[in-house]
Amino acid sequence: MDERLKVSLSGWQLDNPIIPASGTFGFGYEFTEFYDINILGSIATKGTTRDPRFGNPTPRIAECERGMINAVGLQNPGIDKVISEEFAKLKQVYHKQVVANVSGFSEEEYVECAKKMDAQDIVGILEINISCPNVHGGGMSFGVCPEAAAQITKAVKAVTRKPVYIKLSPNVTDIVAIAKACEEAGADGISMINTLLGARFDLRTGKPIIANVMGGFSGPAIKPVALRMVYQVYEAVKLPIIGIGGIACAEDVIEMMSAGATAVEIGAENLRNPYVCKEIIERLPSLMDELKIEKLSDIIGRAHQ
């Protein structure tokens, strides 16, 4: 383990800043056939809701230039099974804490899931995904309105002791206003960005490729958007940021941390190359030597200096 790679998220020390992103790494143990997952800084577990969800109808994946669109729809076995079955399997092979990703369709659902996750030893940080449709509010996302984002943050903070990171949607006009609202409501950190919205159509039939028509667009193509938003939010709030969006190599990690991220999550690239997180962790020390970086924590937000 290279000490130079260590970073700290809300007092929690990570061996390195590399975290597979929620929804692209299952519950973690599935990747043990590829490598020892204990080399990872942490793992962001699959988005968990109160009730089991089958997700959206298929087909729900479409490839794009430099990325992909997915409309999986939060498929998961529900919070109780995640804790009793998925976490039990993960604990057998993984000896660190995880970033537990929680989604909901109402404030009550977020609160219930957060409370249950907070009680788990394996959970180091709660990552609250506020980019889901709020079915009680006419199908709007909690994450596109500062007031709604603040309301969820406040409600979750009231029932948890562990750090709460709010995962922001990029599908907004002003991401800074949402980040500030979360900070004022007591968030401990920000995860950003979630997927952009995209669509693809079949050339022969003209029909949408994804049954849902639209889905979350991710992959290397969105990196400049993610970098821009991380940079803007770092300027505006005093919270640690987990940078997400288009990261596919060690160079991308350095760039994202320069913009203001303390740690990074790697999403779509796991689906293309299951070894990517391992490769990045192995490559970082030599890249740091090339770039004359003494330790990774030194470069966080250096673009702002």
* Mean pLDDT of all residues in 242-246: 98
Look at residue 213 in the predicted model and tell me its pLDDT.
94
The confidence band for 156, taking pLDDT boundaries of 50, 70 and 90, is very high
Look at residue 131 in the predicted model and tell me its pLDDT.
80
> For residues 9 and 279, what is the distance between their CA atoms, to the nearest angstrom?
22
The percentage of residues in the chain with a pLDDT greater than 70, rounded to a whole number, is: 97
* Mean pLDDT of all residues in 149-154: 97
Task: Specify the pTM.
Answer: 0.97
- pLDDT tens string 189-231: 999 999 999 999 999 999 999 999 999 999 999 999 999 999 9
- pLDDT tens string 74-115: 999 999 999 999 999 999 999 999 999 999 999 999 999 999
Residue 51 belongs to what domain range? 3-56+74-197+219-304
Residues whose CB falls within 8 Å of the CB of residue 126, separated by 6 or more in sequence, listed in order: 99, 100, 102, 114, 117, 118, 156, 160, 162, 163, 164, 165
Look at residue 141 in the predicted model and tell me its pLDDT.
79
Residue 44 belongs to some domain of the structure? yes
Residue 68 belongs to some domain of the structure? no
Domain count, the chain: 1
Residue 93 belongs to some domain of the structure? yes
Residue 8 belongs to some domain of the structure? yes
> For residues 21 and 158, what is the distance between their CA atoms, to the nearest angstrom?
26
The confidence band for 267, taking pLDDT boundaries of 50, 70 and 90, is very high
The confidence band for 1, taking pLDDT boundaries of 50, 70 and 90, is confident
Residue 203 belongs to some domain of the structure? no
Please state the three-class secondary structure of the chain as a single string: CCHHHCEEECCEEECCCEEECCCCCCCCHHHHHCCCHHHCCCCECCCECCCCECCCCCCCEEEECCEEEECCCCCECCHHHHHHHHHHHHHHHCCCCEEEEEECCCHHHHHHHHHHHHCCCCEEEEEEECCCEEHHHCCEEHHHCHHHHHHHHHHHHCCCCCCEEEECCCCCCCHHHHHHHHHHCCCCEEEECCCEEEECECCCCCCECCCCCEEEEECHHHHHHHHHHHHHHHHHCCCCEEEECCCCCHHHHHHHHHHCCCEEEECHHHHHCCCHHHHHHHHHHHHHHHCCCCCHHHHCCHHHC
Look at residue 69 in the predicted model and tell me its pLDDT.
96
132 classed as catalytic:
yes
> For residues 252 and 249, what is the distance between their CA atoms, to the nearest angstrom?
5
Kindly tell me if the per-residue pLDDT of 162 is higher than 90. yes
* Domain at 273, CATH number: 3.20.20.70
Kindly tell me if the per-residue pLDDT of 164 is higher than 80. yes
Residue 64 belongs to some domain of the structure? no
Residue type at 263? A
Residue 174 belongs to some domain of the structure? yes
Look at residue 94 in the predicted model and tell me its pLDDT.
98
The confidence band for 134, taking pLDDT boundaries of 50, 70 and 90, is low
> For residues 153 and 138, what is the distance between their CA atoms, to the nearest angstrom?
20
Look at residue 136 in the predicted model and tell me its pLDDT.
66
Look at residue 133 in the predicted model and tell me its pLDDT.
63
* Mean pLDDT of all residues in 63-72: 95
The percentage of residues in the chain with a pLDDT greater than 90, rounded to a whole number, is: 95
* Mean pLDDT of all residues in 47-68: 95
Kindly tell me if the per-residue pLDDT of 184 is higher than 60. yes
The confidence band for 140, taking pLDDT boundaries of 50, 70 and 90, is low
Kindly tell me if the per-residue pLDDT of 245 is higher than 70. yes
Look at residue 135 in the predicted model and tell me its pLDDT.
54
Annotated catalytic residue within 113, 132, 145, 277 = 132
Residue 110 belongs to some domain of the structure? yes
Instruction: Select the more confidently predicted residue: 288 or 136.
Output: 288
